[in-house]
Amino acid sequence: MNRTESPGANLCPRCGKAFTCGMQAGAERCWCADLPPLGPPDPAQKGCYCPDCLKVLIAERQARA
Ligand SMILES: [Zn+2]
């Protein structure tokens, strides 16, 4: 068991920070459900983003819209 990797931990594809996805942690809903949807999936997106990056990306998309 790798001590640096907790079960259900995700690595943000943008900043590489470890975070926990509520869905993968077994929660009924994820914290990301409280944020506005990011929109159509980005082809470059490899998975969930950490809370910090998701907020930044949402703000960037809204600024571009
Ligand atoms: Zn991140």
Strand partners, 18: 11
Only one residue has tokens 């990306």, namely 57
CA of 57 to the centre of ligand 1 (A): 10
List the structure tokens of 14.
């943008």
CA of 2 to the centre of ligand 1 (A): 21
Residue 49, pLDDT score: 86
CB of 52 within 8 A of CB of 15? yes
What SS3 state is found at 20? strand
- Average pLDDT of span 24-48: 75
List the structure tokens of 37.
């949807």
Residue 42 clears pLDDT 70, i.e. is over it: no
CA of 40 to the centre of ligand 1 (A): 19
CA of 45 to the centre of ligand 1 (A): 12
pLDDT tens digits for range 7-31: 567 889 889 999 988 877 888 888 8
CA of 27 to the centre of ligand 1 (A): 20
